[in-house]
Chain A
Amino acid sequence: MKAIATSRMSAGEIASRVWEVLTRNLDPFLFTCALALTGVGLVTLFSAADQNIARVTSQAGSLCLAIVAMWLVSNVPPQALARAAAPLYVAAILLLVGVALFGVVVNGSRRWLNLGVARIQPSELMKIALPMMLAWYFQKFEGRIRWHDFVIATILIVIPVYLIKRQPDLGTALLIAASGFYVLFLAGLSWKVIGGLCAAAAAAGPFIWTSLLHDYQRERVLTFIDPGRDPLGAGYHSSQASIAIGSGGVIGKGWLNGTQTHLDFLPERHTDFIFAVFGEEFGLIGNALLLLLYVLLIGRAMVITANASTLFARLLSGAVTLLLFTKAFVNMGMVSGVLPVVGVPLPFVSYGGTTLVSMFIGLGVLMSVQANRKLVRT
């Protein structure tokens, strides 16, 4: 490669070479869908922020960073990721323990670790570290996976989930548990076990309700079942979001014209509830288009996953894909009132640099998998 890149190359050749390097691993379909979603996010954000351009530019800055991160990750081959899996997982576990011991309390939850230079939220890291670890583990025993491997995998899941749950951060804990479960599922976890797990969950329901959930979590669930029981308190967010979406109607109230949004009735309207802003201003048509974008994005990710060359790549990209779906579903379900209120942002759309970067890193993983799929055939 070095030999080819000589000084005698013309500027045009250099440019096309650079372009090739930049786009080599890029999946245009995936990237276009993600950019479209982020664009929807920026447009909605401008309205949600009461036309304050500062928030939009800040989010756009995050987008640039996220694209760079995506590009970097897309150029890391899956094998390299596999090699990094175990150390990353161990590091993430150590950081979570560190949070439990020395964490900073914000809003009553101990989720942050102050590293002097920056505060980090190790649970974010765990979102990618756990599926990587599990995928690596299953690949390690590829072809001879036995039931006890699933037991070990379950333990690998339970440790971070427990640590995050007691921060407390139920939403993230559930997401991480879900990502772990997706790996188990895709790795071929027996249907009997899945059925058994479901039965056990149902049986343990009352116990979870009384012993494992905090008061505020119970309150959220109760409020979800009947938002009217406390319309000005816990049910307020949910009610106002439903009013916003419902009042949008088929064609919406028009961009920048959402009354729920602009008169402050919508809580968290830049972040977790941005979908309510979108639904109010763009109506059912907008919602349908947004769903379509997600279907296209997730469908493409499924195709990439299906064609992945190694078990590690399959499991990892499968988990990333399903987690992306889960976040989108849980967020829109929560905002439209069919799921309890949990703090899950809408992928690519909600305001927030960290989430945006991590979503694009996920895309980077998928692109890397896609780029490396053909190695088997060469």
Chain B
Amino acid sequence: MTTIAVQGLTKRYGPDTVVEDVSFTVEPGQVTGFLGPNGAGKSTTMKMILGLAAPTKGSATIGGRRYQDLRRPLTEVGALLDAGAVHGGRKAYDHLLALAVSNGLPRRGVDEVLARTGLEGVAGKRAGQFSLGMRQRLGIAAALLGDPPVLIFDEPVNGLDPEGIRWIRGFMRSLAQEGRSVLVSSHLMNEMAQTADHLVIIGRGRLIADTSMSEFLHAKGEGTVLVRTSDPGSFALQLTAAGAVVRDGVESALVVSGMTSLEIGKLAAYHGVTLSELTPQRASLEDAFMELTKDSVEYQGAAA
């Protein structure tokens, strides 16, 4: 099966090292999240994989070959960069047709990808009139033209409305389920938590983590739980006695860490306490990511 293999990839622009000695692989049948703060080198790495930027050192290969050596690249790799990277004056159909023809793909493939991305109705419209979400869909249609086993998406949910985000998430999951290798970049940990099976995290151009999502959650995702009850004071004591750490949240809620929501629920039942809310907090995942990358954020806002 086709994998993306990145080995010792380095990119320098003059004195600035944008990507430094990054190695990872993207395996088929799963979504690999490529995560890092803005300016971490994600886009540069993806451009090097696609042969759009030349590595200073190291290599990036797809199925063992450099992108430049692929005979019909659209049949091997589909890529979404920069909201479709499309000339706004061209109709969606013509944009896809030119790409298809350049790789010797049949004309009917254009209709197929238009249908798969829900753009049939606007195929005759110029891409400049498209909303951002529609342009993303057009970019994804282009990526799917050659039915490639490897897909690369750079920040696909950027600027999308919730409906569009949900569509893309489901879409990436289904592509992976079809056995394809899917590499998706994002700077939002929570976004990745919903889609990725595997995580590659970089910061300031360096590899920080290369791990499966479940391992990452297990190691870092020790979450907090938001608890509301009519008598927070006494329940807080009971929680502390049971080994949890309790902080006061907003509107007399309790923020509990060190216990799962299941354990807290059982404890409440044992003491006969009525809970009006018991919510596991996802934010901890974001916290774990921030913790990992805090030294590698380009510009950090000062705490107020």
Say whether A and B bind each other: no
A residues adjacent to B (C-beta < 8 A): none
B residues adjacent to A (C-beta < 8 A): none
